A and B are shown apart, each in its own frame.
Chain A
Amino acid sequence: MSGDFIIFFILALSLITTSLLTVISRRILRSAVFLAFSLLFTAFIYMLLGAEILAGIQILLYAGGVITLIIFALLISEKFGTDRTESSHHGVLPAIIASSLLFFILAYFTWISPRIASLSNSKPLKLLNPSKTLSEYLFKSWVLPLEVLSLVLLAAIIGALILAKREKEEG
């Protein structure tokens, strides 16, 4: 057992624990905070896979931006803090059955797939300068999807603004 695997094992265990706490926590604000930790551990796993830029963006955008947005929306919602008496989950048993069924189906088809077995046996080759290659990829061969993505982000900003705008006469 190498040191790499021990680090991966610890990270995977923390990731599973925080994800479970995210979905079973009764209070929604705690759930959002656990989600932040879960995204942070995923970023550490990305670092283990040699994707440092992706890990940085994950921390900046996900654990920083998205979590802040969720907590902010929760805090400005009118019903915030009134959820203590109500039950937080419903239909737990069918949900457990459905999600574990999905897990076993995915795991079975991965286990019998010969392509993934051959990929798993081969040693992954180290790239020479992954950050430089990634930026070259991003701004040479993927530049059109990148520009389309900026349009999508603009549309999302405008859509969110229009949806959340308060009507004057309602005031």
Chain B
Amino acid sequence: MNLYHLLFLSYLIFSIGLFGVLSRRHLVGILIGIELMFNSANLAIVSISWSMGLLTGQVIALFGIAITAAEIAVGLALFLLTERLSKTVYADKIDMMRG
């Protein structure tokens, strides 16, 4: 395995996550797609720092994981709030801003 394999794998996962974000209707489905994209970004950072023989990428990936945890907590709180206010879980049915 070399850097190309790892990077292409991470690009593929990122594209799959983007597909999930763009095509899902459920709000949590969109969040799950964002999780996949975060994960593949971490994978790319770690593999590049691995090929350079450094540890900085691992530190940045650790910070990324912690920020993702914070993001998912706020995102799920927003999901519960949105569901309570607009009585739907689908992103294309939320029309609170429509006059």
Contact = CB atoms under 8 A, between A and B. Distances in A.
Q: Do A and B come from one complex?
A: yes
A54 B69 contact: no
Nearest to A5: B1
Contacts of B17: 19, 23
A69 B28 CA distance: 11
A164 B78 CA distance: 7
A133 B49 CA distance: 14
A69 B65 CA distance: 15
Contact of B39 (A23, A39, A87): A39
A107 B8 CA distance: 7
Given A95-B19, A99-B18, A99-B22, A160 B76 contact: yes
Contacts of B33: 23
A127 B58 CA distance: 13
Interface residues of A, number: 86
Contacts of B55: 127, 130, 133-134, 137
Interface in A64-84: 65-66, 69-70, 73-74, 76-79, 83
Contacts of A119: 3, 48, 51-52
Given A4-B1, A73-B80, A119-B3, A149 B66 contact: yes
A42 B64 CA distance: 14
A48 B87 CA distance: 45
A157 to B, nearest CB: 7
A134 to B, nearest CB: 5
20 contacts: A15-B13, A16-B12, A22-B32, A35-B32, A51-B58, A57-B65, A69-B73, A70-B31, A76-B80, A79-B88, A88-B25, A110-B7, A119-B51, A120-B2, A122-B51, A127-B53, A134-B59, A156-B69, A157-B70, A157-B73
Interface of B: 1-9, 11-20, 22-26, 28-29, 31-33, 35-36, 39, 42-43, 46-48, 50-53, 55-56, 58-59, 61-63, 65-74, 76-81, 83-84, 87-90, 92
Given A49-B47, A95-B19, A163-B81, 19 more contacts: A15-B9, A16-B9, A16-B13, A22-B16, A28-B28, A38-B36, A54-B61, A69-B76, A73-B76, A77-B83, A103-B11, A103-B15, A124-B52, A130-B55, A133-B55, A134-B58, A160-B73, A164-B80, A166-B84
Q: What are the nearest 10 A-B pairs in CB distance? A: A156-B70, A23-B20, A95-B22, A95-B23, A160-B77, A163-B77, A103-B15, A120-B3, A73-B76, A164-B77
